[in-house]
Amino acid sequence: MSNKITSFLSILALLIFSNVAFASSTGENEQIDGGAVDTQEEINAYIRHHLQDAHDFTLFTLGESGKHIGFPLPVILWDDGLHVFMSSKFHHGAAVAESNGNYYKLYHGKIYKTNAEGEISYDEDRHPTNARPLDLSITKNVVGMLFAGALLLFGFASLAKNYKNKPIPKGFGRVLEPLVIYVRDEIARPNIGPKADRYMPYLLTAFFYIWLLNLLGLTPLGFNVTGNIAVTVCLALFTFFIVQFSGNKDYWKHIFWMPGVPVPMKILLMPIELLGVFTKPFALLIRLFANITAGHFVVMSLIALTITMKAVFGPIAATGMSFALALFITVIEILVAFLQAYIFTMLSALFIGMAVEEHDHH
């Protein structure tokens, strides 16, 4: 048991220390020159950079030299034709990339079309006015989603193969089977009822996909997929369309013309119920996005205590305090990773159940 506890703590320490690049790397603009992050503004910029998507993986930066250790990703642009090159051409935003006579610059995580000198023009509010090509690049978040999808295909294909040959799964299938049964018996059937099995493929996919992406966000690779609002919007839209296309006549009747309610109240409640159709998926996407983003922000802020409090408590005390607090929050984040997947799946099942429920009106 002690060996298991030691291994668990070692993994957590690796997850935390892998993010402690404050001592050698900075935010989007400061990454060009490298150097230490030692001011509140640089720390805030670094945290914002960590929460954003990126066109490459930067694992860490070597000391004052500012040399980034990582690997590039493919950049795919459509700008009067297809342009494909590796993100290493940008040199983390320090260089201008040339492709078929066109020049592009990476600025605050977005790609703008420029001249050979990489000049960026601004409006009166300091927003770039350069044209932006259609960006279809394989970014860090896209890699995370593809990786999570591949793991799900591998895991459940193995589980299905085990069921085909024997009634009791072996290997990793023994880990997946209780979770599948839990989603079916504790989430789908209580909230949807007799028609629950019809929606199990979607609910299982949503649960395991979100859970796996949340866990990947705690790894040294720094994925923040479910902290990207575009991803949570897409996931919520799946639930929204499934609910609307599954709704029976009673579901729509309770929205537009509630039975047993006086006519004046029906007219008053109709827009409120119709608004509720859209607020339900909105609550799904905001809850997942906000909780995951807040968790990453808190962990990074606690790690930053090593820098901001070393002048008061000394470097050793500040580092120890930062590590203890970040370790505690990281353990909580492991629980939140499961909890947010559960809540999204449970609410999706609840909304589907409300749409397919058969009402007996007297």
What does the pLDDT average to over 188-217? 92
Is 179 a residue whose pLDDT tops 80? yes
- Whether the pLDDT of residue 25 is over 80: the answer is no
Instruction: Examine the pLDDT at 112 and tell me if it is beyond 70.
Output: yes
Length of the chain: 362
Quick check: 23 and 60 in contact, CB under 8 A?
no
Does 331 have pLDDT greater than 90? no
Q: Report whether pLDDT(282) > 50.
A: yes
Q: Which residue has the higher pLDDT, 7 or 136?
A: 136
Contact 208, 177 (CB under 8 A): no
Q: What does the pLDDT read at residue 37?
A: 61
Strand-pairing partners, residue 60, are 69
Least confident of 2-6, 54-58, 128-132: 2-6
Residue 25: closest CA among 106, 93, 73: 93
pLDDT tops 50 at residue 18: no
Q: Return all residues near 17 (Cβ < 8 A) that are at least 6 apart.
A: none
Average pLDDT for residues 174-191, to the nearest whole number? 90
User: Does 273 have pLDDT greater than 70?
Assistant: yes
- Per residue in 33-71, pLDDT (tens digit) is 445 566 667 677 777 767 778 888 777 666 565 666 778
Greatest extent of the chain over all pairs of C-alpha atoms, in Å: 78
Residue 4 is predicted with a pLDDT of: 43
pLDDT band at residue 344 using 50, 70 and 90 as cut-offs: very high
- How high is the pLDDT of residue 184? 93
CB-based burial, 161-173: b 16+ in 10 Å, e otherwise? ebeeeeeebeeeb
pLDDT band at 298 (very low <50, low <70, confident <90, very high): confident
- Residue 62: predicted pLDDT: 65
Selection from 184, 214, 156 nearest residue 349 by Cα: 184
Cβ pair 47, 15 in contact under 8 A: no
94: CB partners within 8 A, 6+ apart: 32
DSSP 74: E
| Whole-prediction pTM | 0.80
Contact (Cβ atoms closer than 8 angstroms) between residue 228 and residue 214: no
Q: What is the mean pLDDT of residues 130-134?
A: 90
Q: φ and ψ at 251, to 5 degrees?
A: -60, -50
Q: Would you state the pLDDT for residue 66?
A: 61
5 pLDDT band, cuts 50/70/90, is very low
- The reported pLDDT for the residue numbered 206 is 94
Q: How confident is the model at residue 311 (pLDDT cuts 50, 70, 90)?
A: low
pLDDT bracket for residue 281 (50, 70, 90): very high
